[in-house]
Structure 1
């Protein structure tokens, strides 16, 4: 059994954990989890979308998404309406309160992330992006 990929796997997991340690406290200070932010950021400035579309555009698994949507709906941040094109599905969108939250937290969190990412050159960011896309494609 070849395990020459283990250092890459270790670095990938370590990078994601470091990202979470940097990102999550900033979001918690704004009253959000990383998953809630992902959903709000995906729905912000967008027309309502189906749950399936939302799941495809976020990093959230279907099982987790249901609970997150329920919590955000109970807080008045998003709303669900029947899909006029398919009564079996719902359209999910931000409420006015949710859109205002998006407009406050999205740029603030991008600025926070920029502090870290701006330490990398444009070339480094491009190489990282290409390498991560290559890795993603190996699992398809």
Structure 2
């Protein structure tokens, strides 16, 4: 019977990398801005659109409805977002950033970009280009696998 080395298994490596970086960033966002990682993701997605629904956030961030609902409730209570009925469908609520939410988004983006910059300093410019290409291909392959299942 062959030994399966988990530390050499690509999905495991990707998961560990993601969790390590996310934990580090989440601690910083929590201490500086009082935001969880999921709340930050919601703020970025909302800020990238004029108005967005909770379902759209779920789809873009690959988060479940309960996680997004919890983040939205907290962000609304902190007056970082506001909800309004959709003119096309009264059952749906459109989510917008408030001026305070836009300010936090503006303040937090350089922090996020700085983490990315620090991580990428470990790579050469050709490795960064290769990484971009490889991650795009892996994401496409994962999406293909997901649609087959």
TM-score bracket relative to the smaller structure: 0.7 to 0.9
| Aligned pair partner of 2:44 in 41, 46, 62 | 41
Query: 1:104 and 2:114 equivalent?
Result: no
TM-score by length of 1: 0.85
Query: 1:130 and 2:132 equivalent?
Result: no
Unaligned runs of 5+ in 2: none
Q: Which has the higher strand share?
A: 1
Aligned-CA RMSD value: 2.2
Q: Which has the higher helix share?
A: 2
Q: Distance in 2 between matches of 1:9 and 1:46?
A: 31
Unaligned runs of 5+ in 1: none
Secondary structure class of the residue paired with 2:95: strand
Aligned twin of 2:89: 86
The 4+ residue runs of structure 1 with deviation greater than 4 A are: none
Q: Does the CA-based 8 Å contact 1:27-1:34 persist in structure 2?
A: yes
Higher relative contact order (CA 8 A, sep 6+): 1
Q: Distance in 1 between matches of 2:58 and 2:23?
A: 24
Aligned twin of 2:16: 14
State the shift of 1:55 in Å: 1.7
Q: Distance in 1 between matches of 2:60 and 2:139?
A: 17
Q: Distance in 2 between matches of 1:52 and 1:76?
A: 20
